[in-house]
Homo-oligomer: A and B are copies of this chain.
Amino acid sequence: MAMKRAATSAIRAFSSSSPSSFGSSGSSTRLLHASAESKKIVGVFYKANEYASLNPNFVGSLEGALGIRDWLESQGHQYIVTDDKEGLDSELEKHIPDLHVLITTPFHPAYVTEERIKRAKNLQLLLTAGIGSDHIDLNAAAAAGLTVAEVTGSNVVSVAEDELMRILMLVRNFLPGYHQVINGEWNVAAIAYRAYDLEGKTVGTVGAGRIGRLLLQRLKPFNCNLLYHDRIKMEPELEKQTGAKFEEDLDSMLSKCDIVVINTPLTEKTRGMFDKEKIAKMKKGVLIVNNARGAIMDTQAVVDACSSGQIGGYSGDVWNPQPAPKDHPWRYMPNHAMTPHVSGTTIDGQLRYAAGVKDMLDRYFKGEEFPAQNYIVKEGKLASQYL
């Protein structure tokens, strides 16, 4: 299957230039040869406008373009960037028929559908600048023999830090106090009656992969009761270090938590996972932090539970879809602390994922393997977290 597109479309030269064809001896010559070819690379990033000039390290923006333009063009490659990604009239769509590499990000996601993949006859490589490639139809990409890779680890610290901030903001009931300040008010009671310490509370993470583990490590000194649910137990060393207890049964964990943090990728299994029934299994007034993906939640179920008080506070930076339309109900629900999708695109994160994309492009041109943990689709197979 991995070779399907390569086999059916000679002009795409998949087998001669895709890193996914590596791993067998003798192929390096063909790939080194491939490196001399000029490639058309398209990047879809959020536009910075007046903010572009305010920070020289703002490489994650359209204007920053990952800081790789000179490097790419000096090697004879074509590099087009755009933020216009939706529909058949978009700038992105114009380049779909002849691009070789498409770079996208979760923050301003270009949805790479099966139809787009079919139209992208020259496409070989889909790179995600950041983490989370669910905006790509991964099964279609696999069926077409494409390689999909992300910069695994590039912004896990960024996201974990942001989660801890959101936990604290909900537990401490920050926003009502802030609103008082900007509205000229002062009413300590209206904040304090539902402000708590994090200490002593039960915090559970649904998923304890790279981000979940970093969160648990950062929660450790807060003296909470830490729980985690995942497909597999963590190494005993890490369990000991964080003091987190494994909960094999998700529902059982949810019923114990004062705070639930979602740290699982969006897959066919997790899509809509937190629906009315699941939320009803949580403690009354539970606080939920979700920086994973908006579509893991049933949108209306979250709104209803925030309105009824079943959810005491909801914070995250992920929405379905993105950008969230003006009338997205999460903008208007009570006790939310939402932002646009930013937690993984700090300046520090941008510099790391820009470096990671450059490294993978360099390897692609040279016909070298990517770091193993970066592959999301390789040789027709999805990475284990997406299965």
Contacts and interface: CB of A to CB of B under 8 A. Distances in A.
Interface of A: 46-49, 51-52, 54-55, 58, 60-61, 107-108, 157-158, 161-162, 164-165, 168-169, 171-175, 177-178, 180-182, 184, 186-200, 217-218, 220-222, 317, 322-324, 326, 330-331, 336-343, 345-350
A188 B105 CA distance: 12
Nearest to A179: B339
Given A168-B161, A172-B165, A192-B347, A178 B338 contact: yes
A196 B324 contact: no
Contacts of A175: 178
A52 to B, nearest CB: 7
The count of identical subunits is 2
A48 B189 contact: yes
Given A181-B339, A197-B346, A192 B324 contact: no
Nearest to A352: B197
Contact of A348 (B162, B197, B341): B197
A323 B337 CA distance: 25
Nearest to A222: B218
A283 B345 CA distance: 24
B221 A339 contact: no
B221 A220 contact: yes
Contacts of A346: 172, 192, 195-197
Nearest to A61: B189
Contacts of A181: 324, 330-331, 336, 338-340
B341 A184 contact: no
Contacts of A330: 181
Nearest to A54: B193
Contact of A186 (B197, B199, B200, B340): B340
Contacts of A186: 322-324, 340
B49 A197 contact: no
Contacts of A349: 197
Contacts of A221: 217-218, 220-221
Contact of A188 (B52, B108, B198): B108
A197 B164 CA distance: 12
Given A165-B172, A338-B178, A48 B347 contact: no
Contacts of A347: 192-196
A51 to B, nearest CB: 4
A182 B196 CA distance: 25
